[in-house]
DNA sequence: TCAATAGTGTCTCTAAGACATTATGTT
DNA sequence: AACATAATGTCTTAGAGACACTATTGA
């Protein structure tokens, strides 16, 4: 019953261009001082009401943002994952639209495409892999990807986002049927252009009532 | 950064007759000495390789069995869940066929139908509720319920088990199509009777290759 | 007017469920 | 033989995907 090192870690994911990316920070302290790692820190029993609050605090302190979506992922523990001794980390994952991150981003914050992650300290790689698996799984039957989209977006953009996450192309008609079935989008008056010589797409935003909720489909996709 | 109380708890579920039941133990120590609670205990950094091992040890020590299915559920933490102070418990859930439990069961082990749970200490009720939700959810698209069935079982029995977990009746033809699709069952030579004046049902057992794995369906149910 | 993508109508095909029929045991 | 449930064949229906056609912009 000797002391256990209790920490939280956060896999902070965002959409960078056409790729999923994770937020990494350069570690200020040992172990692995100077290495890039995902945000994390000790649980502060005197400050944190629970591990979820600890994760929110870590995100806020290290990146300056309040993540629109934050969920517990899994707890990683063991004698060998941290050179300091037997440790336990409650891993979380958060989804953030990139503009939110860019607005607050200082030099210490690195946004690295998940396809280009180098070697990471601790079991951070396993945490990221688990987060990606969870995200991809939930993308099959929920509105989760919407938390990666910006404030407003078009249906073609949203479909490309789902396709990116699921790694397969989707049927346009079916995709729109499903979005309509979820009933989470409000059209925004005024159209969308930028894309050039073709019909502009309707802009949508998440309905206020579901801005903080996850909507789930009965039969997926 | 003061010390955090680190524990594991296990929601041990079994099928008691036609009902889901949880294993409760009478607590030997304070807090809540004498109350019925789910099995749990401190993480032992010197003995346990990780929290999963701690959960296996707790099950083994307190009930004498090795659970065929054990999975991490979620971590419950906070300042108020344990009167001793800020604590963190990695909750797991395990599925056990009742005969395995009955063979080892001593007087301290109580198997209580989930519909008849009284007030439980800590946040054990929330853990059980979370475990039930997870079990019901995974029953929609996986072979998870098979871990509650005995060594051998018939398809009508298995269907009744799925229906119990899902809380709805299932189409017999569809159910059998899905089981066949999962390709996890081996017929056992020799039939099944007991049920009386009608055609006996074929006995099945889980294929050896799948005895420790979870098989997942593409499109659920 | 052409090119390009958005948006929608409609047909096809697959899969789930309903129903019916056959199979096989006990009484 | 009667009955009860197992097991399976087959039809119906619902939903997903393919395809095509219309809409709307800039060049």
pLDDT at A172: 98
What values do phi and psi take at B214, rounded to 5? Answer: -105, 125
Which ranges of chain B would DSSP assign to H, the alpha helix? 51-63, 98-104, 124-139, 155-166, 172-182
Chain B CB contacts of A1 below 8 Å: 42, 44-45
Across the interface, of A45, A74, A86, the residue whose CB is closest to B86 is A45
Helices (H) and strands (E) in chain A, counts: 5, 10
Return the CATH number at B182: 1.10.10.10
pLDDT surpassing 60 at residue B213: yes
Q: What is the three-class DSSP state of A133?
A: helix
Q: Is residue B138 part of a domain?
A: no
Q: What percent of chain B has pLDDT over 70?
A: 99
When pLDDT is cut at 50, 70 and 90, the band that residue B2 belongs to is low
pLDDT at A2: 64
Verify that B75 and B24 share a domain, yes or no. Answer: yes
Pairing of strands A202-206, B185-191: unpaired
**Per-residue confidence of chain A (221 residues) as pLDDT tens digits?**
468 999 999 999 999 999 999 999 999 998 999 999 999 999 999 999 999 999 999 999 999 999 999 999 999 999 999 999 999 999 999 999 999 999 887 888 999 999 999 999 999 999 999 999 999 999 999 999 999 999 999 999 999 999 999 999 999 999 999 999 999 999 998 778 777 889 999 999 999 999 999 999 999 98
Domain count, chain B: 2
**DSSP run (H or E) holding A82:** none
Contact check, Cβ <8 Å, A88/B51: yes
Contact check, Cβ <8 Å, A45/B2: yes
Q: Which nucleotide is nearest to A193 (CA to C1')?
A: D25
pLDDT at B8: 98
Verify that A60 and A162 share a domain, yes or no. Answer: no
pLDDT surpassing 70 at residue B53: yes
Q: Which domain holds residue A33?
A: 5-119
Burial class (CB in 10 A: 0-12, 13-18, 19+), B124: buried
Q: Is residue A136 part of a domain?
A: no
Give ∠ CA A161-A163-A168 in degrees, rounded to 5.
Answer: 165
Verify that A9 and A57 share a domain, yes or no. Answer: yes
> How far apart, in Å, do the first and last CA atoms of chain B sit?
47
Per-residue pLDDT tens over the stretch A14-41:
999 999 999 999 999 989 999 999 999 9
CB count within 10 Å of CB B185 equals: 20
pLDDT at B196: 81
Q: A22 vs chain B: nearest CA distance in angstroms?
A: 23
Verify that A167 and A62 share a domain, yes or no. Answer: no
Chain A CB contacts of B78 below 8 Å: 49-51
> Given A64, A84, A119, which residue is the final one in a domain?
A119
CA distance B10 to B127: 9
Chain position carrying tokens 């396993």: A126
Verify that A115 and A179 share a domain, yes or no. Answer: no
Which bases of chain D come closer than 7 Å to a protein CB?
Answer: 2-10, 15-20, 23-27
Which ranges of A48-104 would DSSP assign to H, the alpha helix? 51-63, 98-104
């Amino acid at each position: 019953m000797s002391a256990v090192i209790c920490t939280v870690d956060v896999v902070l994911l965002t959409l960078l261009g056409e790729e999923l990316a994770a937020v990494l920070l350069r570690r200020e302290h040992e172990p692995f001082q100077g290495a890039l790692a995902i945000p994390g820190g000790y649980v502060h029993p005197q400050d944190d009401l629970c591990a979820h609050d600890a994760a929110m605090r870590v995100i806020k302190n290290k990146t300056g943002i309040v993540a629109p979506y934050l969920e517990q992922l899994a707890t990683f523990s063991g004698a060998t994952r941290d050179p300091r001794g037997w440790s336990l980390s409650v891993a979380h994952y958060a989804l953030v639209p990139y503009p939110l991150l860019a607005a607050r981003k200082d030099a210490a914050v690195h946004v690295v495409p998940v396809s280009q992650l180098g070697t990471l300290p601790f079991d951070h790689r396993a945490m990221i892999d688990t987060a990606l698996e969870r995200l991809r799984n939930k993308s099959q039957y929920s509105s989760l990807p919407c938390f990666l989209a910006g404030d407003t977006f078009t249906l073609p953009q949203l479909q490309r986002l789902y396709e990116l996450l699921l790694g397969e192309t989707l049927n346009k008609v079916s995709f729109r049927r499903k979005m309509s079935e979820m009933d989470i989008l409000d059209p925004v008056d005024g159209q969308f252009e930028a894309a050039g010589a073709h019909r502009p797409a309707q802009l949508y935003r998440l309905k206020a009532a579901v801005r903080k909720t996850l909507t789930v489909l009965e039969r997926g996709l």
